[in-house]
Amino acid sequence: MKIQAYLSFKGQCQDALDFYQSIFGGEIINRQTYDNQKMDIPDHYRDKLQHAELKGSGFHIMGYDAAPDTPITNGTNVQMSIDLENEEKGSELFKALGKGGKVHSEFQKTNWGAYYGRLTDQYGINWMINAK
């Protein structure tokens, strides 16, 4: 079994994947736009992503730009969770993901012995970072 995130965006999927790539590395693969698709999509939306994946060592994030008439509630139904064994790297990721976003729980020592923080990034995606 493999469980991975599939994120929905309102036209900014490429920007979001570029942002995540700048933090995590990896490669954007299987990039497909709505161009030349036989779908009821407005012309101004044809260059948006119908599907793309960011894949790297230890992670695989898929995403797409939902059709303009598709209702999306930003981030309320997805929490991206990152577990790592390095507090310094956890703090670095927390700061990078938090740029332009909103911190809900500062990255700090917890009662379970790890460092943990929770935030929503500039694209409305919720992140939990746990470093032991």
- Last residue within a domain, chosen from 65, 87, 102: 65
CATH for 124: 3.10.180.10
Residue 123 resides in a domain = yes
Residue 70 resides in a domain = no
The pTM for the full model equals: 0.86
- Specify the pLDDT at position 73: 83
pLDDT band (50, 70, 90) for residue 36: confident
pLDDT of residue 1 exceeding 70? no
8-22 residue pLDDT tens = 999 999 999 999 999
pLDDT of residue 2 exceeding 90? no
Mean pLDDT, rounded, of the chain: 92
Residue 71 resides in a domain = no
- Specify the pLDDT at position 50: 93
47-95 residue pLDDT tens = 999 999 999 999 999 999 998 888 888 766 678 999 999 999 999 999 9
Q: Are residues 61 and 84 in the same domain?
A: no
Q: Are residues 18 and 60 in the same domain?
A: yes
Q: Are residues 55 and 98 in the same domain?
A: no
Q: What is the DSSP letter of 76?
A: T
Residue 111 resides in a domain = yes
- Specify the pLDDT at position 77: 66
Full residue range of the structural domain in which residue 116 is found: 79-131
Q: What is the DSSP string of 56-124?
A: ETTEEEEEEE--TTS---TTTT-EEEEEES-HHHHHHHHHHHHTTSEEEEEEEE-TTSSEEEEEE-TTS
CATH for 48: 3.30.720.100
Query: What total number of domains does the chain contain?
Result: 2
